[in-house]
C-alpha cells in the first residue's frame, strides 16, 4: 500500500478519496490501457458508496490484471440512491458512456451489482442497448429472442456478464420479501403506505406503488421492452446472467425476490462441504421460458399476486444461473446482506468465498 493506494504490481491501481462533504469514492484504474479491453461496472446498493465494492474490485483486478478495467460507480452515492431507480439508471448510463469515452480500446462490458444496484443496472442497460444491424427486418424479428445474439451492444460494447447480488428483482412488497417485517401482513401493508417517507421515490419503485402518469409500476415495465428503453432485449443480450441470493438471514432482501423464483420453486438446500466455497449451498441453471404461466400458478402458490407473477414470468424469459448462499453458521449471519458482498473486508470477510466463486466463473 502506497499513499492510500492499493497497487497490484501489474499496473492496476485502486484508490480511495473523500468528496462531496465526506462521501467516500473508491476508484479502480488500469495504467496498462492497451491490454485491458473488458469494462466491469460495479454498482452499489441503496445509501451505498463506491467503497462498498472495494474488496470485490480488487479480486477482479488481481485475477485478470491485463484483461479487465474495473469501474466502481460514483454517480449515485448516499442519498442520491433515494431519487428512484429510473433517475439512478439514467445517471449510471451517462457514467458508463463517460468511462468508455475516457478509456479507448474497450470491447466488452459486464455489470456486477449489489441490492438495488441490480435494478439500477437493469435500467441502465435498457437505455444503453442497441440491436444488431440487420438490413432484413424479418431476420431481425426472427433473431431478436436469441440470447447473446452477435451484434447486440451495450454502449457500443459486447455484453458478457450481468451479475446481481441480493437484488430485489421482484420488488419488496410481496409476502416475506422484506424479511425484517417477519411476514406479518399488517406490517407489510403499513410499509406499503409509508415506505416513500423513508426511501423516497426509490421506495415507491421497490414496493411497486409508483404510478407515474398513470403508467404501470416501473419494475413491471422493466421486464419487457418499453419504447426506447429495451429492458428485456438488453438483459437477453448478455452471454451470462447470474443471480446470487441469500437463502436466509438477509433481513433486507428476501430469497424469493433475489433469486427470481416463486415460493414453490425455492429449492431444498444442504450445508456445503466444498472447502473452496463453504457458503455456496445450491446452484442451478434455469433455461429461458417463453410460455406464460397464467392463472394456474397463482392458484398453486397463494403467496404470489398477479403483479409479482408478471415479474417472475417476464424475467424468466431469459436464462439465469442461480447461486444460493447461506451464512447460517457465520458469526455475522444477521448481516448476510452485506456479508455476501464483503462490503467491509474487516467484518464481512466470511463472504470472500462468494466473491471468489463470482470471479472464478466470470467470462472474460
Check residues 113 and 188 and name the one with the higher pLDDT. Answer: 113
Q: What is the DSSP letter of 215?
A: P
Check residues 244 and 9 and name the one with the higher pLDDT. Answer: 244
Question: Which phi and psi (to 5°) does residue 263 adopt?
Answer: -60, -40
Could you give the CA distance from residue 92 to residue 87 in angstroms, rounded to a whole number? Answer: 9
Contact by Cβ (8 Å): 260, 312: yes
Contact by Cβ (8 Å): 235, 127: no
Could you give the CA distance from residue 96 to residue 109 in angstroms, rounded to a whole number? Answer: 10
Check residues 307 and 222 and name the one with the higher pLDDT. Answer: 222
Q: What is the DSSP letter of 48?
A: -
- Taking only Cα atoms into account, the Rg of the chain, rounded to an integer number of angstroms, comes to 20
Distances from the Cα of 301 to the Cα of 29, 273, 298, 306, angstroms: 48, 32, 5, 11
Enumerate the β-bridge partners of residue 71. Answer: 41
Could you give the CA distance from residue 173 to residue 219 in angstroms, rounded to a whole number? Answer: 12
pLDDT reading at 302 higher than 60: no
Task: Kindly report, residue by residue over 61-82, the tens digit of the pLDDT.
Answer: 999 999 999 999 999 999 999 9
User: What's CA 194's distance to the chain center, in Å?
Assistant: 25
Could you give the CA distance from residue 95 to residue 79 in angstroms, rounded to a whole number? Answer: 18
What is the DSSP secondary-structure string of 20-35?
A: TTTEEEEEEEES-TTT
Residue 148's pLDDT band, with cuts at 50, 70 and 90, is low
Q: Identify the burial level of 40 via C-beta atoms within 10 angstroms of its C-beta, where 0-12 means exposed, 13-18 middle and 19 or more buried.
A: buried
Task: Kindly report, residue by residue over 21-48, the tens digit of the pLDDT.
Answer: 445 555 555 434 468 999 999 999 999 9
How many helices (DSSP H) and strands (DSSP E) are in the chain?
12, 14
Across the range 280-302, mean pLDDT stands at 72
pLDDT reading at 258 higher than 80: yes
Please work out, in degrees rounded to the nearest 5, the angle formed at the alpha carbon of residue 190 by the alpha carbons of 189 and 194: 125
Could you give the CA distance from residue 237 to residue 111 in angstroms, rounded to a whole number? Answer: 13
Q: How far apart are the first and last CA of the chain?
A: 27
Amino acid at each position: 500500500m502506497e499513499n492510500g493506494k492499493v497497487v497490484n504490481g501489474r499496473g492496476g491501481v485502486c484508490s480511495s478519496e473523500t468528496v462531496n462533504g465526506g462521501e467516500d469514492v473508491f476508484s479502480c484504474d488500469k495504467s496498462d490501457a492497451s491490454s485491458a479491453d473488458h469494462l466491469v461496472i460495479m454498482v452499489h446498493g441503496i445509501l451505498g458508496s463506491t467503497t462498498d465494492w472495494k474488496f470485490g474490485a480488487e479480486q477482479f483486478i488481481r485475477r485478470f490484471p491485463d484483461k479487465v478495467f474495473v469501474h466502481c460507480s460514483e454517480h449515485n452515492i448516499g442519498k442520491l440512491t433515494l431519487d428512484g431507480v429510473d433517475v439512478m439508471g439514467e445517471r449510471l448510463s451517462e457514467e458508463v458512456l463517460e468511462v468508455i469515452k475516457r478509456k479507448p480500446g474497450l470491447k466488452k462490458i459486464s455489470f456486477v451489482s449489489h441490492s438495488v444496484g441490480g435494478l439500477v443496472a437493469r435500467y441502465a442497460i435498457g437505455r444503453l442497448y442497441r440491436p444488431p444491424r440487420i438490413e432484413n427486418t424479418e431476420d431481425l424479428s426472427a433473431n431478436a429472442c436469441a440470447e447473446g445474439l452477435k451484434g447486440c451492444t451495450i454502449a457500443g460494447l459486447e455484453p458478457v456478464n450481468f451479475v446481481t447480488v441480493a437484488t430485489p428483482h421482484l420488488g419488496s412488497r410481496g409476502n416475506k420479501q422484506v424479511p425484517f417485517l417477519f411476514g406479518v401482513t399488517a406490517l407489510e401493508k403499513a410499509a406499503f403506505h409509508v415506505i416513500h417517507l423513508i426511501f423516497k421515490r426509490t421506495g415507491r419503485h421497490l414496493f411497486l406503488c409508483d404510478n407515474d402518469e398513470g403508467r404501470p409500476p416501473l419494475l413491471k415495465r422493466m421486464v419487457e421492452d418499453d419504447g426506447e428503453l429495451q429492458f428485456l432485449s438488453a438483459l437477453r443480450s448478455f452471454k451470462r446472467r447470474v443471480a446470487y441470493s441469500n437463502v436466509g438471514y438477509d433481513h433486507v432482501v428476501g430469497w424469493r425476490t433475489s433469486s427470481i423464483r416463486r415460493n414453490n420453486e425455492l429449492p431444498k438446500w444442504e450445508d456445503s462441504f466444498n472447502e473452496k466455497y463453504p457458503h455456496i449451498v445450491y446452484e442451478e441453471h434455469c433455461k429461458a421460458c417463453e410460455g406464460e404461466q397464467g392463472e394456474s400458478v397463482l392458484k398453486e402458490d397463494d403467496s404470489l399476486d398477479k403483479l409479482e407473477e408478471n415479474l417472475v414470468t417476464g424475467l424468466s424469459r431469459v436464462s439465469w444461473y442461480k447461486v444460493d448462499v447461506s451464512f447460517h453458521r457465520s458469526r455475522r449471519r444477521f448481516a448476510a446482506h452485506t456479508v455476501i458482498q464483503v462490503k467491509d473486508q474487516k467484518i464481512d470477510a466470511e463472504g470472500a468465498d462468494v466473491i471468489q466463486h463470482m470471479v472464478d466463473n466470470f467470462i472474460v
